[in-house]
């Protein structure tokens, strides 16, 4: 697709050698011809007017007009009276076509987990916050600033986390980042330099895929620790060589269980005895339905916990805004890692997020989304009860995904493959297990980005796959 420049004439990077033996016109023709052949100028793109290109290059307008005329005659350019000179559509026919990956099969209904309702992003509120941030930002704050992040946002986040998540949060110990991946990377790079060689992850959990690749690239060993109905098994963790553990205690990903109170205290004791650090991913704890919100583990062991949070689930992943609440003894090192990474996250976006939270619009959005997700949660429960009563659901207390336990005799991998042939995206628990084991057969079913009608349609489409086939009499 050609770029359609608006307003002033576009610029084109061309070099002319006034000391060389080749005439300027030949250089200009050759430069434009090569730019078109190489794809730097693509079919349909507008070129500068002859007057403007002559001004840019410091040559006569007549020279440019002659050059354009020659390339028009050769079929490289098109021109109409009263219209701009453009690259001809046929100019790219001689270039070898680039192979592009085949598009992924389109899913009519996709039960992918971890995706919020993207259509409900509060566009009007965010636009208001951005305008207000641009209007009020001091000129000095448009500089690079503190790599920790904008001081206003860090103060607002500290108050929010203390109020809503019962965290111990001081603005001086908060580092704004681009999300969970960067926050985890900052923390683990610092820990690796303090003598941590092994990091434990919940199993099933998020210790696979991109996360596993990022951790192993740091030279760290990853060890899985099982999760049961009461959260991570601290006794098993204590038998490993790990001096750091990454976990989701408020709403375990993906099982949905809450870390039991006695295990919270046992985990804090393990960290103190082992001189270890807990990395807490507080990813969607604002969305609870059947009980009061569960506070952060960091609130009872602030000196041993790195708390990671983002707005990827509460607003949208495209925001690329998160935060690291550091134990004081790690703060300086994490700040330095952030400075070396990118010198700091986008300042105006940080100010806009601060305004969104300060104004109460962020809380209002969360209240509305709790109601939306609760309705979709019930739609999933009802659809499975009617169409596939043999499927048991767990992990429904919070967030916007649930675990579907398939009946005996139903193979997880068969269900996932057959559903995709029907344009329904289902995802097995095996993708969250470090072993990749497909038993017991379970599905992790996200409903955050699906309407109630889509949930009903998707379950009806795959219902027969979720129940064991009738046995011959």
d(CA 444, CA 113): 7
Residues constituting the chain: 473
User: Cα–chain-centroid distance for residue 16?
Assistant: 44
Q: CA-to-CA distance for 285 and 314, rounded, in angstroms?
A: 10
pLDDT in tens, 147-191: 999 999 999 999 999 999 999 999 999 999 999 999 999 999 999
Q: What is the CATH number that goes with domain 109-115+364-466?
A: 3.90.1150.10
Which pLDDT score, from 0 to 100, does residue 5 have? Answer: 46
Backbone angles phi, psi at 378, to 5 degrees: -65, -35
Question: What is the CA 159 to chain-centroid distance, rounded?
Answer: 25
178 phi and psi angles, rounded to 5 deg: -95, 5
Instruction: Give the tokens for residue 345.
Output: 């996250």
pLDDT of residue 53: 87
Q: Mean pLDDT lowest for which of 45-49, 95-99, 232-236?
A: 95-99
Categorize the per-residue pLDDT at 472 as very low, low, confident or very high, splitting at 50, 70 and 90: very low
pLDDT in tens, 300-359: 999 999 999 999 999 999 999 999 999 999 999 999 999 999 999 999 999 999 999 999
Nearest to 433 by CA among 226, 167, 294, 166: 226
Helix axes of 361-387 and 452-462: crossing angle, nearest 10 degrees: 30
Model pLDDT for residues 208-226, shown as the tens digit of each residue = 888 888 899 999 999 999 9
**Helix or strand run (H / E) with residue 228:** strand 221-228
| Confidence at 97, pLDDT banded by 50, 70, 90 | low
Confidence of residue 96 (pLDDT cuts 50, 70, 90): low
Averaged pLDDT, 43-48: 87
- Tell me the backbone φ, ψ of residue 297, rounded to 5 degrees: -65, -30
Least confident of 67-81, 97-111, 312-326, 442-456: 97-111
Q: Does pLDDT of 471 surpass 50?
A: no
What DSSP element (H or E) covers 309?
Answer: strand 305-310
**High-pLDDT (> 90) share of the chain, %:** 72
Adjacent-strand bridge partners of 87: 77
Domain ranges for the chain, please list them.
Answer: 24-92, 109-115+364-466, 122-359
Provide the edge-to-edge strand list for the sheet that holds 277-281. 174-177, 322-325, 305-310, 277-281, 244-247, 198-203, 221-228, 231-232
pLDDT at 1: 42
pLDDT the model gives residue 98: 60
Residue 397 near residue 289, CB atoms below 8 Å:
yes
The model's pTM is 0.86
Topology given in CATH for the domain delimited by 24-92? Arc Repressor Mutant, subunit A (1.10.10)
Higher per-residue confidence, 293 vs 217: 217
CA 194 to chain CA centroid, nearest Å? 29
- The pLDDT of 44-54, averaged and rounded, is 87
Separation of alpha carbons 412 and 293, rounded Å: 32
User: Taking 90 as the threshold, does the pLDDT of residue 94 lie above it?
Assistant: no
Q: Where is pLDDT greater, at 305 or 11?
A: 305
- Residue 283's contacts (CB-CB under 8 Å, 6 or more residues apart) are 180, 248, 251, 253, 309, 310, 312, 313
pLDDT tops 90 at residue 45: no
Distance CA 379, CA 451 (A): 9
Across 360-400, the runs of DSSP E, i.e. the strands, are 392-394
290, 165 in Cβ contact below 8 A?
A: no
Which residues are CB-neighbours of 452 under 8 A, at least 6 positions away? 375, 376, 379
User: For the domain bounded by 122-359, which CATH number is listed?
Assistant: 3.40.640.10
Q: Does residue 176 contact residue 146 with C-beta atoms inside 8 Å?
A: no
Q: Is the peptide bond before 204 cis (omega within 30 degrees of 0)?
A: yes
Can you tell me the mean pLDDT for 383-404?
Answer: 95
Q: What's the pLDDT tens digit per position in 260-292?
A: 999 999 999 999 999 999 999 998 878 887 666
* Residue labelled with tokens 């110990």: 173
Question: How many of the other CB atoms lie within 10 Å of CB of 459?
Answer: 25
Q: What is the pLDDT of residue 292?
A: 67
* Mean pLDDT, rounded, of the chain: 91
Which residues on neighbouring strands pair with residue 443, listed in sequence order? 404, 428
**Helix 361-387 vs helix 347-358: crossing angle, to nearest 10:** 80
Cα–Cα dist 295/470, whole Å: 46
Residue 102 has pLDDT above 70, yes or no: no
* Residue 203 contacts residue 248 (beta carbons within 8 Å): no
pLDDT tens for 71-89 read 888 889 998 776 788 899 8
């Amino acid at each position: 697709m050609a770029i359609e420049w608006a307003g002033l004439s576009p610029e084109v990077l061309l070099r002319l050698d006034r000391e060389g033996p080749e005439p300027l016109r030949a250089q200009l023709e050759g430069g434009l011809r090569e730019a078109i052949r190489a794809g730097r100028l693509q079919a349909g793109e507008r070129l500068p007017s002859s007057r403007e290109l002559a001004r840019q290059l410091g040559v006569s307008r007549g020279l440019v007009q002659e050059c354009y005329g020659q390339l028009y005659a050769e079929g490289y350019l098109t021109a109409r009276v009263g219209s701009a000179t453009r690259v001809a559509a046929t100019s790219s026919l001689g270039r070898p076509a680039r192979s592009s990956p085949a598009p992924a099969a389109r899913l009519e209904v996709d039960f992918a987990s971890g995706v919020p309702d993207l259509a409900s992003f509060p566009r009007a509120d965010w636009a208001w916050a951005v305008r207000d941030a641009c209007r009020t930002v001091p000129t000095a704050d448009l500089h690079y600033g503190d790599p920790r992040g904008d001081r206003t946002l860090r103060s607002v986040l500290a108050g929010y986390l203390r109020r809503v998540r019962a965290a111990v949060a001081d603005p001086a110990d908060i580092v704004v980042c681009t999300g969970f991946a960067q926050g985890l990377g900052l923390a683990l790079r610092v820990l690796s330099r303090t003598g941590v060689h092994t990091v434990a992850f919940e199993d099933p959990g998020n210790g696979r895929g991109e996360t596993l690749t990022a951790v192993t690239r740091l030279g760290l060993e990853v060890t899985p620790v099982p999760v049961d109905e009461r959260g991570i098994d601290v006794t098993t963790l204590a038998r490993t060589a790990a001096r750091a553990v990454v976990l989701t205690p408020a709403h375990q990903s993906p099982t949905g269980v809450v870390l039991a109170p006695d295990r919270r205290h046992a985990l804090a004791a393990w960290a103190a005895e082992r001189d270890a650090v807990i990395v807490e991913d507080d990813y969607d704890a604002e969305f609870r339905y059947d009980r009061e919100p569960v506070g952060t583990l960091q609130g009872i062991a602030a000196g041993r916990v790195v708390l990671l949070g983002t707005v990827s689930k509460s607003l949208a992943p495209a925001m690329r805004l998160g935060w690291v609440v550091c134990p004081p003894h790690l703060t300086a090192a994490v700040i330095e890692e952030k400075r070396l990474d990118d010198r700091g996250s986008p300042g105006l976006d940080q100010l806009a997020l601060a305004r969104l939270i300060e104004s109460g619009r962020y809380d209002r959005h969360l209240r509305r989304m709790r109601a939306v997700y609760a309705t979709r949660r019930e739609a999933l429960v009802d659809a499975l009860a009617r169409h596939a009563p043999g499927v048991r659901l767990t992990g429904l207390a919070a967030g916007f995904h649930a675990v579907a336990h398939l009946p005996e005799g139903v193979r997880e991998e068969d269900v996932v493959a057959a559903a995709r042939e029907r344009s329904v995206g289902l995802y097995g628990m095996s993708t969250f297990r470090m072993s990749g084991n497909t038993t017991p057969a379970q599905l992790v079913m996200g409903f955050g980005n699906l309407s109630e009608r889509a949930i009903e349609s998707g379950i009806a489409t795959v219902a027969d796959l979720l129940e064991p086939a009738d046995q011959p009499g």
